[in-house]
Amino acid sequence: MASKTQSKKSSGGKTPKSAAGGHEIKTHATAHGKARAAQYTSDDESVPIGRPPVRLEEERLIEIHRQMLLCRRFEERTAQMYQMRKIQGFCHLYIGQEAVAVGSVAALEKQDYIFQTYRDHAHALIRGISAREVMAELFGKKTGCSGGKGGSMHMYKAETGMMGGNGIVGGHVPLATGVAFKSAYNDLPEVTICYMGEAAVNQGVFHECLNMASLWNLPIIYIVENNLYGMGTAVHRASAEDQLYKRTEGAYRIPGVRCDGMDVLEVYAEVKAAADRARNDRRPTFIEAITYRYRGHSMSDPATSYRNKAEVQHWQERDPIARLQAQYPKLFTEEMVKAADEKIKEEVQDAIKFADESDFPGPEALYTNVYVDCQGYPKKQD
């Protein structure tokens, strides 16, 4: 099943017994004897706590599958477009992590908000920004969701509740917390999800925000997408307590839970419970989703110096799309998956054509979306 959906590029070499058996994988760091081995490497250990996965209606399963596949195919083509220099600047792919965005957004209501880091293409697509608008934004075209001025790291469309990708690690945590404050202040039944990478939990602002969220009973879910690396640094080399979910209960009385971020239904179950809690009881939750990015940190990172092929393959064997297909073999037959895949590929191809044929923003765009009131700019030319 895995071969149906995994990107060709991301399939690694032969798996050593230790990885296939789910035991310890030696990271680069341990090979030099400097740090402990990476954790979360076996099926049993990867989810020490967590809600059992839910059962959803067929229609919803099909949609969840479609969304994960859309994200996968969209980003495979994004990488190609980048290599063709149609896309320039920073570009961070989400391939491998799809279950986190898809499972969590599926647990939200229409009026809810999400905030993401720079790894934001999938979140934008799932939260309702069209493939055309996301691809055009990547191309820097004016038909993009941010008018072509944001690019890869700044997907945004307020009407959909996608409140933006952000380039500064931890920088959006106060923005998300502020929106949750607005929901509480106005007594609205809205929930905010603030996604972040695991490097953000060591930023001061993260702690300030969690303190406020708990004190003020804010309807927010902080989701750490722990893909085990912040650029090339393994989590256990950067965090004194690398079981991140343990950090918030004692310090802020915010319950911390960990879930298997490669299992879309488990993510859904965990986030649904947190969303109910936020909406009904006005309490925040901290979720650590263990996941893995198959590609490098960004397009300029070949990801060969800090991890090895066996480690990548270990995670690809837990591929979230193949896993959902395997959980429901009668639903996701080979023909069904093939047909869905063809349709998605057409949608992505159409998005590329649209982006390519769109115009770049003109000089007048320099003066828009900078300040609320541009104070007389642009100046009239004599």
Q: Considering only 97-105, 228-236, 260-268, 345-353, which stretch makes contact with Mg ion by CB under 5 A?
A: 228-236
Contact positions with Mg ion (CB under 5 A) in 180-219? 197-198
Element (H, E) at 31: helix 28-31
Distance CA 100, CA 226 (A): 10
**Measured from the CB atom, is 105 or 289 closer to Mg ion?**
289
**Measured from the CB atom, is 199 or 289 closer to ligand TPP?**
199
Residue 227 touches Mg ion, criterion: CB under 5 A: yes
Contact predicate 156/114, CB 8 Å = no
Residue 197 touches ligand TPP, criterion: CB under 6 A: yes
Distance CA 52, CA 259 (A): 10
Residue type, 291: T
Residues binding Mg ion: what is the number (CB under 5 A)? 4
Residue 97 touches Mg ion, criterion: CB under 5 A: no
Contact positions with ligand TPP (CB under 6 A) in 260-319? 297
Residues binding ligand TPP: what is the number (CB under 6 A)? 14
Contact predicate 294/96, CB 8 Å = yes
Residue 140 φ/ψ, nearest 5 degrees: 75, 30
Least Å distance between CB 170 and ligand TPP? 6
169 binds, among ligand TPP, Mg ion, none (CB under 5 to 8 A by kind): ligand TPP
Residue 198 touches ligand TPP, criterion: CB under 6 A: yes
- CA–CA distance from 317 to each of 56, 63, 78, 225, 292 (Å)? 24, 23, 23, 19, 11
Residue 231 touches ligand TPP, criterion: CB under 6 A: yes
Contact predicate 131/350, CB 8 Å = yes
Distance CA 232, CA 301 (A): 9
231 binds, among Mg ion, ligand TPP, none (CB under 5 to 8 A by kind): ligand TPP
Contact predicate 179/113, CB 8 Å = yes
**Measured from the CB atom, is 27 or 183 closer to ligand TPP?**
27
Residue 169 touches ligand TPP, criterion: CB under 6 A: yes
Binding site for ligand TPP (CB under 6 A): 117, 119, 167-169, 197-200, 227, 229-231, 297
